[in-house]
Amino acid sequence: MSTFTESDERLTLRKEVAKLAAGYGRDYFVKQARSGGKTTDLWLEIGRHGYLGVAIPEEYGGGGGGIGDLAAVCEELAAQGCPLLMMVVSPAICGTVIGRFGTEQQKRRWLPGIAEGTTTMAFAITEPDAGSNSHKLTTTARRDGDEWVLNGRKIYISGVDEAQAVLVVARAEDARTGKLKPCLFVVPTDSPGFEFQTIDMEIVSPEKQFTVFIDDVRLPADALVGDENAGLVQLFAGLNPERIMAAAFATGIGRFALAKATDYVKGREVFDVPIGAHQAVAHPLAQSKIEIELARLMTQKAAALYDAGDDMGAGEAANMAKYAAGEAACAAADRAVQVHGGNGITSEYGMAGLLVASRATRIAPVSREMILNFVGTHTLGLPKSY
């Protein structure tokens, strides 16, 4: 008999991650964010327990699981008030791309550290004039003897200050056609000519955003990941895991907001009854529960398709999951603030900060509008508008 539940192993993984994360909790996360600190202690602990590397092959120090396992880890951390954005980036995007397309030497160089948490890798694709349209990237890579020379600028790059290297998307000239094609390079953050600058954000998070400046950064030939003629295929191979992880990140935030709201309305009494007894309060929270569970189910479907090797099917489901999760997270955070009343916008209760955090899940790593474009064009077969 088949069921719609996850495997016992996955459910156990969720339980153990939730227990570990609860030992840190939202207070720890916010304290680190407001003091300028980092969540390194939590990061290294989940690495030591094998949770960071759960989707990395066993021969490179990982657990040999799939993206669904890693998404479960990400979601449970967020549901305990510790949404770690670098989980989306380092093990999911960078770990997946290097694991699928890197040379044996690159896999042995980078994957064990990513699995342990002792090495963190950022991902740089977005540029000031090239966000959703990756075909307009202007960061270039040119050959100079046995080396590559990179030049360009990236923006909204997460966690560069915590990373030892950045997986940079650049464009190199095709020797056959003369056209520029996307290629992926591992760039150590201490490379001469590689500089970064913090972007001031309203979001409450220890993980910062950066503008990256790449000026004549020289790299050895083996900094190129995979085949320079298959850059686009390799690039998109990392984007499905990114969307799946972003969906898990968002549903975790939604679950945290909903749990806080539910606890509050059970105990807050006005006119001698808990406010949760009023349908005007109960129904919006019940609606959020439904929306979050629907988003979680689509996220699990996307992960299952990806882990089964169905990249096209996973692309559609991952986009839908990311859309649903972003909407659910935003609604849950908004409702959580509302049911708290004035307490919802105090620092003590910590609800208002979730508004910005949840709103970001509608925008990044791909906007809800671009997802609607994708579904309209690829799923419904409608004419393309751009």
* Torsion angle defined by CA atoms of residues 287, 320, 244 and 358, in that order, rounded to the nearest 10 degrees: -50
What CATH number is associated with residue 293? 1.20.140.10
Of 208, 242, 254, the C-alpha closest to 355 is 254
Q: Which domain, by its residues, includes 223?
A: 123-227
Let me know whether 61 and 88 are in one domain. Answer: yes
CA distance linking residue 247 with residue 259, whole number of Å: 18
Q: What is the pTM of this model?
A: 0.96
Confidence of residue 8 (pLDDT cuts 50, 70, 90): very high
CB 117 within 8 A of CB 43: yes
* pLDDT at residue 1 is higher than 70: no
How confident is the model over 127-137, as pLDDT tens digits? 998 877 777 89
* pLDDT at residue 300 is higher than 70: yes
> Final residue of a domain: which of 119, 151, 177?
119
Q: Coil, strand or helix: which one is 379?
A: helix
How confident is the model over 334-356, as pLDDT tens digits? 999 999 999 999 999 999 999 99
CB 126 within 8 A of CB 156: yes
DSSP letters along 80-114, please? TT---THHIIIIIIIHHHHHHHS-HHHHHHHHHHH
Let me know whether 203 and 115 are in one domain. Answer: no
First to last CA, the chain: 47
pLDDT at 281: 98
Let me know whether 184 and 300 are in one domain. Answer: no
Let me know whether 143 and 195 are in one domain. Answer: yes
How confident is the model over 144-164, as pLDDT tens digits? 999 999 999 999 999 999 999
Confidence of residue 5 (pLDDT cuts 50, 70, 90): confident
Domain count, the chain: 3
CA distance linking residue 255 with residue 333, whole number of Å: 9
The residue with tokens 């910062």 is: 208
What's the average model confidence in pLDDT over 19-45? 98
Let me know whether 114 and 168 are in one domain. Answer: no
CB 80 within 8 A of CB 102: no
Query: Is the four-CA dihedral 328, 24, 242, 56 of positive or negative sign?
Result: negative
CB 325 within 8 A of CB 299: yes
* pLDDT at residue 48 is higher than 90: yes
Let me know whether 362 and 237 are in one domain. Answer: yes
Return the DSSP state at 119: S
pLDDT at 226: 84
> Final residue of a domain: which of 95, 119, 143?
119
pLDDT at 249: 98
pLDDT at 377: 97
> Final residue of a domain: which of 173, 203, 227?
227
Q: What is the radius of gyration, based on Cα positions, of the chain?
A: 21
Let me know whether 355 and 241 are in one domain. Answer: yes
What CATH number is associated with residue 134? 2.40.110.10
How confident is the model over 216-269, as pLDDT tens digits? 999 999 999 987 776 677 777 789 999 999 999 999 999 999 999 999 999 999
Q: Give the chain's mean pLDDT.
A: 95
Phi-psi region of 91 (alpha: psi -120 to 50; beta: other; left: phi over 0): alpha
Confidence of residue 2 (pLDDT cuts 50, 70, 90): low
